[in-house]
Amino acid sequence: MTKIICSPGSYVQGPGELEKLGQYAQPFGPGGAYIIAGHFVNTHYHDQLTHSFSEKNLPCVISEFGGECSMEEITKHKDNLGDASVVIGIGGGKVLDTAKAVAHYAGLPVIIAPTIASTDAPCSRLSVIYKENGEFESYLPLPKNPEMVLMDTNIICAAPARFMIAGIGDALATYYEAAACVASNATTMAGGHVTNAAFALAKLCRDILLEDGLKAVAAAEQSLRTKAVENIIEANTYLSGVGFESSGLAAAHAIHNGLTILPECHDKLHGEKVAFGTLTQLVLENYSLEELGDIITFCKAIGLPTTFKDLGIEGVSDEQLMEVAKRACAPDDTMGNMPFSVTPEDVFSAMKTADALGKAF
């Protein structure tokens, strides 16, 4: 049985790291960087970015992200790369996934620089592709992880706390999905079975979230950088990133993907939907009431959704919920990594039960 663990070439975290981007890009070649960034990043950090490259006599081009990690967006950037030696993504999860996909299709290295700690996407050898309307389309497996993941904690701490909270919601699924994959002996995103190291990272991720999550949110709401905030940034990004990829996904993310078909929750962040998917997975697996209660209470304390109302889908019909459940059980999704067979009817019942329990605690 082949076991595989994979991770980025380097993980760098600390205040002011974005100012060193030119230095970090220099080893990749004289062609400099093609930078994909959101409008906010281009507006507020344009001069800082270009200065870091001019200091190293390297060219850089900054191209704004169009808003969706779609094949159309990926193709647009790939066609505009010019002579760049490295692709750099700066922004949120969809910007980063776009940069990884562009680099993959162009055969170039990639540096990932998140400006928020909202997902476990940065470290992975995976891009999540969406349709132009925001509906989940497919996973794009990549042959390698990013050469570098760069976390400037000054910038991350300046972002609205909601993003860090969503990152906690995404990371919270890591251990529970990993445990399901261990039980089912599933093949992970890394292409092998779960290593002890990967599962240990997944467990450490959960432990840090529960210990430091509320403290970090209290600081993040005031744009403060504390030890708890630093721990949560690492848990949301590195521990969850390596943990999910090398330990596997299961029901929680499949349910997230199902929820994307509902326009009513398109304004919810990835991790917010995943958090509810985690509660649903715990119901599916019939976890103890004590553990369910602990996780629901934790989610409520930091502001993660625990009910349909929180997700904005309180008025959705049972027929629509069944469509979500059917999508979550699609053959190409990760529900098949559960340690038992799961039907759309099972998911439908578990979602409604999770909603009821979310109201009860």
73/311 Cα distance (integer angstroms): 28
**51 among known catalytic residues:** no
Residue type (1 letter), 269: L
Does residue 170 carry a catalytic annotation? yes
Does residue 246 contact residue 273 with C-beta atoms inside 8 Å?
no
Q: How far apart are CA 310 and CA 317, in angstroms?
A: 16
The sign of the torsion formed by the CA atoms of 223, 225, 228, 232 equals positive
The tokens for 349 are 């019942």
Q: Which position among 212, 270, 310, 333 bears the catalytic label?
A: 270
Beta bridge partners of 87: 34, 110
Our answer to whether residue 44 is catalytic in this structure is: no
| Catalytic pick among 97, 120, 170, 333 | 170
What's the CA gap between 311 and 259, in Å, rounded?
10
Rg (CA), the chain: 20
Q: In whole angstroms, what is the distance from residue 236 CA to residue 174 CA? A: 10
Q: In the sheet that 148-152 helps form, which strands lie side by side, from edge to edge?
A: 10-14, 148-152, 110-114, 86-91, 33-37, 60-64
Q: Which of 145, 116, 149, 125 is nearest to 24 (CA)?
A: 149
Strands (E), the chain: 10-14, 33-37, 60-64, 86-91, 110-114, 126-130, 136-141, 148-152
Separation of alpha carbons 190 and 103, rounded Å: 19
Active site residue 256: yes
Active-site pick, 77, 193, 256, 355:
256
**Annotated catalytic residue, options 120, 152, 253, 333:** 253
Instruction: Kindly list the catalytic residues.
Output: 170, 253, 256, 270
